[in-house]
Structure 1
């Protein structure tokens, strides 16, 4: 019924319905040039989708400036896509059975291309957010269906090779995304981070339809939990709007925020009650009775939320306070995928030989280490020192998703794997969107507090202040300009101190998550379908 998709960085599963139908139709594997062409088309679609989750991160300051909004408001461009994508996750299985995997996949690509064009044409933040919501919603089926179609194209004996190709695509895109997004923003303009999807998407859709239209999966009418879906949209939407606008509206001092909080809380409670009693729930909450599922899913969601919050925070800090261009900020973040590409195949081969809790412990330990390293950054920190944690982080990425997904699926019967995949990844994607909102909000709030503390020592009676003003006025500035320059320096220090605090807190959270991982029981033999779902 449910499936998985990614909003940032690493999608992982195949929808059960699509996989099941593909196997029942049992199409013959493709061969020779047809197989190469099919693999390329599916890889392009996956690449385009994953690229869009990371390419916008370094462009947020440019988008915010062009649309005359703050950086925190600019992050809605990221969170709106993620939330819409998360809500679309439970619908993929239903849509696949209703329309067929090939028609659904090609339609998703074409709709994604259309939404990308609309995003580039947006002239206000409101328009851009609406089009990003559409883009995130139609992107839901693309990644899991690309994997299932790829698996159906290869002989069963070469399924591992197919997954390796798919994995490399999803790992390379986050590496290229920041670099490409930064270069486009600096040298052309930010709308082109969306326009580049048009030729890629049209090519992928054309080739896929040409090769797969006669390999369509069977369709049938299946029930869908409309009440659960509407409740899901209401409480998730209210929660995310509350988080995105909370800082701007002074949180619960605003009537609008209070109303959104009430709607989110009531909607969530209704959703829980309905899903526990519905015969065909859109989200199977009975999975929470499994200790490995709830502990692994909680670790995955919180870990990803903290990770994604930092992914959004870093380029904002680099461009706003370190003076980096979007291109250089992208270069700082890009190395994260290098070691991930090298280590992921080894982790995939060995995760069943050892306790996956050990792999996850290593991943969270490395995340804690690199975030502690970042918590030591100052405004004088050089480029290489700032980039080094991004390089090391690749090892943590390789040991993060596969072991946790293996742990989550451990002990579940094969028929439960699709629902487990859908729920765990819905929570992961949601946690990423929430992490982005919370981190940008906390960053601004902490910076305001640090600014107030630092300015306590800046006054005309202070010899240090007088000396600084004299140096600046002697260089040709007026006294007003000198005071403005001092305020900019204080702002830079305040936002850097705030970022350091969030890095430090993030490191502690990852260390705490290690204890959560060990609440799970040792992983039992993983069902074959889970092995595919655990692949990147």
Structure 2
């Protein structure tokens, strides 16, 4: 495929990825609005996120089997069509129970979309332009999580919540029409494979238990809750049983033999950890800005936009550099840029100006536009074309689990460090100190009562505690990211300098 047909098809595939990744974050900032309109509490509304994540986490590992059984094109097109229909149903939901049910269906349908779009892009582009294909795919997977909160916040502030899901309908229909018309005669070979029913059942058990435990752990105070303890035990035992089964079964649902490839293993580890740290920052930064710094959901999203714009501009350039440079060097430079952006955030203050938030986002955009293109080049090096969907599905599955861990760990860490810093600040201050007395006198002169003045001072102390907690997280993120650079060099240099050599042999 060449010329305009190639680029229109590539756009459709990219939009398919964009839709799926966008829906992992677009509802986050809209949960209070959705729950209120459906007559539910905010805590109950979080099941809108959890249900999608659980179903998606379970369906992603099935991608390899589905595509070998039915073909990549057919599986991808059907998945996008089902995702589009379920998006419409989500918008039409009449209560929370129906919305959660439709979100489960939407998450299950979305599993093959991201690995399917990646595999088809790599098959469409010639070997010399594999890096460009990966750049296009990476742009959509990186920009969508940042666009999600911004778009969700804008829709919540200016329209009704069902439009969060309705916007998928025209995009989905366009993707289905283009991909089926352009690719139906390019279907990949298929073969009948037995269904690993035991593997699927164990996967549903341990992933479902783990996802629910991670999503509800913070609300239930983690292991002080018998509910979380039971879920954790089910997840651990289920995972151990699933792992043993998958390693011994002749036709496993998840191909764990991919870890025998050195580059796959030592690229997947930093990619998963790097995405976890990145996603944790994506969660905590707008949360801090909205709850403590007075930003609206729309503005918190807008301040995240520069990194997405820069990533879109940088990704094609990174693809060109991959044709000449060792992908490990580009990956290391990208990780260093990530670490630099986190370190700059660790220097923020309570009265930070807008540009103090924007500049780290610009640097992060450079890292985003480079990192995933380069790390995917290393990871897929030497993987046979028929196994690319399985490799991509496994990578996305682990990335999904890592993002769940990151979300739970980040919010728990943030709240507990806030409590620590607040207690530390409280022990070092007293209403009888001269600065406190001066502050109280100023508030009294404004007509505030003692109770109101003390409440205002306490709010300032809480704000400072959350500031210190956020700075702790950014500092840790910076050092963890620097550590990952060493892992990259455990991989071999890709067989072809920079062209994503997935069509080996």
What's the TM-score bracket when you normalise by the shorter of the two chains?
0.7 to 0.9
The 3-state SS of whatever aligns with 1:314 is: helix
The aligned counterpart of 1:487 is 458
Instruction: Give the structure 2 partner of residue 361 of structure 1.
Output: 332
Within-5 A mapping of 1:129-278: 130-147=101-118, 169-170=140-141, 173=144, 176-206=147-177, 208-209=179-180, 221-278=192-249
Change (3 A) 1:235 1:75: same
Q: 1:76 to 1:386 in 2, by over 3 A?
A: farther
Are 2:387 and 1:409 aligned? no
Which deviates further from its counterpart, 201-210 or 358-367? 201-210
Per-residue displacement from partner, 1:215-264 (whole Å, max 9, x unpaired)? 66666532222211221222122222222222222222221122112111
What does 1:361-380 correspond to in 2, within 5 Å?
361-380=332-351
- 2:64 corresponding residue in structure 1: 93
Q: CA 1:259–1:175 in 2, change beyond 3 Å: closer, same or farther?
A: closer
Residues paired across the two proteins, number: 502
Deviation per CA, 1:306-350, whole angstroms, max 9, x where unpaired?
Answer: 111111111111111111111211111111123322222232233
Gaps of 5+ in 2: none
Counterpart for residue 282 of structure 1 = 253
Distance in 1 separating the partners of 2:407 and 2:257: 29
**Aligned equivalents of 2:33, 2:503: Cα separation in 1:** 39
Normalising by the residue count of structure 1, what TM-score does the alignment of the two structures yield?
0.82
CA contact (8 A) 1:293 1:409 kept: yes
Tell me the TM-score normalised to structure 2 length: 0.86
What is the distance in 2 between the residues matched to 1:54 and 1:75? 12
The structural deviation recorded for 1:289 is 3.5
SS in structure 2 at match of 1:522: coil
The whole-number CA distance in structure 2 between the counterparts of 1:149 and 1:522 is: 25
2:91·2:166 contact (CA, 8 Å) conserved in 1?
Answer: yes
Q: Which moved more, 1:274-283 or 1:233-242?
A: 233-242
1:420 is matched with which residue? 391
CA deviation after TM superposition for structure 1 residue 389, in Å: 0.6
Structure 1: distance between partners of 2:98 and 2:150:
26
What is the Cα deviation at residue 434 of structure 1? 1.4
SS at match of 1:342: helix
**Deviation for aligned residue 1:362:** 0.7
Give the counterpart of 1:340 among 311, 329, 332. Answer: 311
Structure 1 residues 264 and 490: alpha-carbon distance in aligned structure 2, compared to 1, 3 A threshold: same
Give the Å deviation of 1:381: 0.4
Uncovered stretches (5+) of structure 1, i.e. residues with no partner: 1-28
CA distance in 2, matches of 1:308, 1:39: 26
Q: 3-state SS of the aligned residue for 1:399?
A: helix
- CA separation of 1:97/1:174 partners in 2, compared to 1, >3 Å: closer, same or farther? same
CA change 1:509–1:323 in 2 (3 A) is: same
Q: Partners of 1:156 and 1:517 in 2: how far apart?
A: 23
Give the counterpart of 2:490 among 516, 519, 524: 519
SS at match of 2:294: coil
| In structure 2, C-alpha distance between the alignment counterparts of 1:279 and 1:382, rounded to whole Å | 59
Q: Residues 74 and 456 of structure 1: is their aligned pair in 2 closer, same or farther, counting only changes over 3 Å?
A: farther
Structure 2 contact 327–498 (Cα < 8 Å) conserved = no
CA distance in 2, matches of 1:493, 1:65: 31
Q: CA deviation at 1:283?
A: 1.8
Task: Say which SS state the counterpart of residue 207 (structure 2) adopts.
Answer: helix
1:468 and 2:424 correspond: no
Contact 1:84–1:133 (CA under 8 A) maintained in structure 2: yes
| Contact 1:151–1:162 (Cα < 8 Å) also in 2 | yes
Separation (CA, whole Å) in 2 of partners of 1:65 and 1:316:
20
Aligned twin of 1:51: 22
Matched-pair contact (CA < 8 Å) for 1:414–1:529: no
In structure 2, C-alpha distance between the alignment counterparts of 1:468 and 1:403, rounded to whole Å:
54
Structure 1 range deviating more: 105-114 or 511-520 = 105-114
